[in-house]
Amino acid sequence: MIGIVSLDEAMRQAKDAGLDLVEISPTAVPPVCKILDFSRYKYDAKKRVQEAKKKQKKIVLKEMKFKVNIGQGDFDVKLNKIRNFLEEGDKVKISLWFKGREIVHREKGDELFAKIIAALEGIAKIDSDPKMEGKQIIMMVSPIAAAPAV
């Protein structure tokens, strides 16, 4: 900490040290500057950005497909897989495919989605309600954000 000095004095000190005078906070009154090696400063800043990028969690969209006449065991396995996806922080697209004349029994699809919604209560929030698109019903769910630590 040198304190408040004139620009000429700061430039002279930087030149004597063989370093650069770098403005750190231009909006402060008076502006805050440091005497340092600017190329090293840029390198360190780039490394900090890369480290921050490594630690970011990318949100991935996973999909789970169901059929109308799914057995209870298969339903449980798929539901557990959806829970695992949600625990990892991924969004899940749940789709129900109607094959052939199964589309006549849309109420079976609605019952299946009601079971899925009831099973995911408390661990997932519904981004988009189940809606019919062609020969399939689609719903999007995402994990409920964890409460911030106190």
pLDDT for the residue 149:
44
**CA–CA gap between residue 87 and residue 12 (Å, rounded):** 58
Stated pTM of the model: 0.59
In tens, the pLDDT along 123-145 reads: 889 988 999 888 899 999 999 87
Q: Which CATH superfamily groups domain 61-143?
A: Translation initiation factor 3 (IF-3), C-terminal domain (3.30.110.10)
Strand locations in 76-133 (E): 91-97, 124-133
pLDDT for the residue 146:
52
Strand locations in the chain (E): 20-25, 32-36, 61-67, 91-97, 124-133, 136-143
Question: Could you say which architecture CATH assigns to the domain 7-55?
Answer: Roll (3.10)
H-run or E-run covering 115: helix 106-119
Do 38 and 22 meet the contact criterion of CB atoms below 8 Å apart?
yes
Regions of the chain short of the pLDDT cut 70:
146-150
Domain ranges for the chain? 7-55, 61-143
